[in-house]
Structure 1
Amino acid sequence: MGLTLPELAAKADIDRTTAHRMARFLESADYVERDSSSRRYRLGTAAMALGLRAMNRAPLNSELITKMKALARLTGDTVFLIVRLGDYGHCLHAEEGGHRIKSFHTLTGTSRLLGQGTGSMALLAKFDNDAVRAHFARHRAEYEAGGLSLLRMMRGVERSRKLGYALAGAEGVAGVGYALPLAMGAEAALSIVSTASRMSVARRHELGGILGAMFLR
């Protein structure tokens, strides 16, 4: 999947040196990314996020947005829609509950590596173990800089598979994430997130059960 540098140069009708310079610039801005083994280029997260922002509506049906609003009312917390973009989870939409947290306003439109956050961990848990290890290897430096080892990632993936939902908590924030059925229209997950004081482990399990019941009907 993706294109080699000579293929890019041929399609753009430019010389290879110019294509290389342009590709390096686009890679530095996350508009393209290069596979370290195949050396093929593909769209990066910035390009995919730009495409999503240009759309007039979310790439998931209105039934999902209705359910997000219902969850926000029921829980009082913020419900995020996370869409997978390659190796990243992109926060496409949020519905606020009565317990609003100002800093959450800035999260819509942002992207993080899969496994960083409850929704993206739920998505990562859909990978098989070999794919999880390959994913970690591609981004080892970033994960380890954030204190996430492969062992911790695998434990999180295994727990998410066992429970049917992902749990996480760090720096005063905690939540639960649930990967949506592909029938909903895209590879995506919902996460319900709030302050840790509102998200005891027991409550997170309760919310995980609510999410499962809502989407397994």
Structure 2
Amino acid sequence: MCAAQNEGVDQQSPKTSLQRGLAILRAVAGHGADGARLSDIARDLGMTPPTTHRLLKVLVADRMVDYDGTSKRYRLGLDLFVMAAQAGACGSLRDISRPILLRLSATLRDTVFLLVRSGFDAVCLDRADGPFPISSFTGDVGGRVMLGVGQGSLAILSHLPEEEQQEVIRFNLPRMQGMGLLDEVYLHTAIARTRRQGFANQPSGMLPGVSGVGVPIFDHQGRAVAALSIGTLTERLTEERLGVVVSILQREAASISRQINPFDKALTRPATTFGSQAPQ
């Protein structure tokens, strides 16, 4: 059967048309802000110009794609971004994680923290308090701490790409002056240990009588964007209990990772989640 006949059969298949329409959206997106010509899209997808043009007309009519008659280029339409923004309004990381934090706090009888990365810092997005009063680096919800300080932020820092990791260390080291053990040797040692074992529990000695454990939370692209951690009395975190706590935290962190909404503003602009509560 010739190509023209194949296209005639495909036109009768809604599934094929939908797949081609989605492929066109991806092709247009791939050309970035400059947009793409009809011939570019047809070539990229191995489709004939008439078929490509027919599908583009539908996408333009539905405002998924914009067409510039002067440059004769196609770009992603505003309505597509509106849909993406609406998707980001539901299923927030905080909403997803809240029942998990409460369950962990009740099960482990420790204070549980949810941290998200914010530039060179980590912000406490939520916490569930256990029965034992403890001090923490972030304090209440909305509190901010440098990446590398505390187990949750260390778990995030340790799983960043190496170049990004080094940039954070260079920026934060001067900010850490006067913070006891926190120096370049400590950070590199703690990062290597955290990467090797998959969780952070490096003692800093800055909060006497308090210990913690932190595990990273990854997004759908495998980037460390958040962390689950606990803070507890040092005598409660025995070597035997440590393994159990880590296993539980990692299981819950994996569950959160699978549910992460890529458009969640808490992962891109965490300060706006708290309004005036979070320091800038």
- TM-score, normalized by length of structure 1? 0.65
Q: Is 1:194 the counterpart of 2:237 in the alignment?
A: no
Q: Residue 204 and residue 144 in structure 1: after superposition, are their counterparts in 2 closer, same or farther (change >3 A)?
A: farther
Structure 2 Cα separation of the partners of residues 129 and 198 of structure 1: 34
2-structure distance, mates of 1:186, 1:154: 18
- The residue number in structure 1 matching 2:185 is 151
**Paired residues of 1:178 and 1:211 also in contact (CA < 8 A):** yes
On the 8 A contact 1:61/1:185 being kept in 2, the answer is: no
Deviations 1:38-78 (A, max 9, x none): xxxxxxxxxxxxxxxxxx99941533211111111110011
- Does the aligned pair in 1 maintain the 2:113–2:229 contact within 8 Å? yes
Query: Following the alignment from structure 2 to structure 1, what is the Cα–Cα distance between the partners of residues 134 and 149?
Result: 20
**Larger strand share, 1 or 2:** 1
Matches within 5 A, 1:1-217: 59-60=92-93, 62-97=95-130, 99-101=131-133, 103=135, 106-147=139-180, 148-169=182-203, 170=205, 171-183=208-220, 187-216=225-254
Amino acid in structure 2 at the alignment position of 1:100: F
Larger Rg: 2
User: Partner amino acid for 1:71?
Assistant: L
Per-residue CA deviations over 1:81-122 (Å, capped at 9, x if unaligned) read 11111000111211123x231656943221010010010000
CA separation of 1:78/1:164 partners in 2, compared to 1, >3 Å: closer, same or farther? same
Distance in 1 (CA, whole Å) between partners of 2:187 and 2:232 is 22
Deviations 1:187-213 (A, max 9, x none): 211111111121224323321121123
**Whole-angstrom CA distance in 1 between matches of 2:147 and 2:224:** 16
Q: Which runs of 5+ in 2 are unaligned?
A: 1-88, 256-280
The gaps in structure 1 that reach 5 residues or longer are: 1-55
Q: CA deviation at 1:176?
A: 0.4
**SS of the counterpart of 2:132?**
coil
Counterpart Cα distance in 2 of 1:181 and 1:210: 16
Quick one: percent identity of the two aligned structures?
A: 27
Shift of 1:151: 1.7
